[in-house]
Structure 1
Amino acid sequence: MSAGKYRHQIRLQVQTETTGPLGPQPATWTDWEPEPGQGADIPAEVVPLSGRDFIAAGEKQSEVSARIEIRWLPGVLDTMRVLFDGQVYAIAAVLPDPTARRHLTLMVSAGVTDGR
């Protein structure tokens, strides 16, 4: 079976908060597995949409936005983040397939929020 449209590999991560003996610990990001034991790599199509540079708070910053399409997976939320090609993307929106449960479109951005 060829990779076809979903030729990229992404990872979805979920923020986890733990409480230790001294109280709440800093939140950490852990890989999300669609099904236990299946692994965290998810086939996807990643399409860069735009990029821009700007100055905020006296520093030069950049932002990249992209569209990521994956096969339908229940449980994907906009509170997660995406790892792709060494870059962290914050999920701005999770858009379902309007006609059937065949795919999800993730609208993402990287740079300013660093996936938070």
Structure 2
Amino acid sequence: MQAGKLRYPVSIEKPVDVRDKLGGFIRTWVEVSREWVDIESVSGKEFMAAQAPQAQTIYKITLRYRADLVSSWRIREGVKLYEITAVLPDSRRRRIELMCKTGK
């Protein structure tokens, strides 16, 4: 994998449920690591929901191989969040492609 293609610094975050004062749980996000990635837009769509236009974009994020990534985690680039929908490692375990979505 060429390091020059990995030009976006991101945080990889996992969900953690923390008990609140009433005995329920609140979902928070904890940073697992910082990585350099390549982010590429794959597709986008617009639709109507609750009588307001919504947009959703699908991205492919490529990074060096990690054995611990799962689809319940997310990627944070500054204030932008990417929800991981699929984790696709290559056969040599050198890199991973993450299919991610933004928007609702």
Q: Establish whether TM, by shorter chain, passes 0.5.
A: yes
Match of 2:80 in 1: 87
Match of 2:96 in 1: 104
What does 1:31-50 correspond to in 2, within 5 Å? 31-33=31-33, 41-50=34-43
Q: Number of matched residues?
A: 103
Which range moved further: 78-87 or 89-98? 78-87
What does 1:1-116 correspond to in 2, within 5 Å? 3-33=3-33, 41-98=34-91, 100-112=92-104
Distance 1:92 1:59 in 2: 24
Q: Which amino acid counterpart does residue 105 of structure 1 have in structure 2? A: E
Q: Against the structure 1 CA distance between its residues 7 and 61, is the aligned structure 2 distance closer, same or farther, given a 3 Å change threshold?
A: same
Which range moved further: 100-109 or 79-88? 79-88
Unaligned runs of 5+ in 2: none
Q: Which amino acid counterpart does residue 63 of structure 1 have in structure 2? A: Q
Could you list the structure 1 runs, at least 4 aligned residues long, displaced by more than 6 angstroms after superposition: none
Instruction: Give the secondary-structure state (helix, strand or coil) at the position aligned to 2:84.
Output: strand
Identical aligned residues as a percent: 28
Distance 2:21 2:47 in 1: 43
**What TM-score results when the alignment is normalised by the length of structure 2?**
0.89
C-alpha RMSD of matched pairs (Å) = 1.6
Unaligned runs of 5+ in 1: 34-40
Structure number with the higher strand fraction is 2
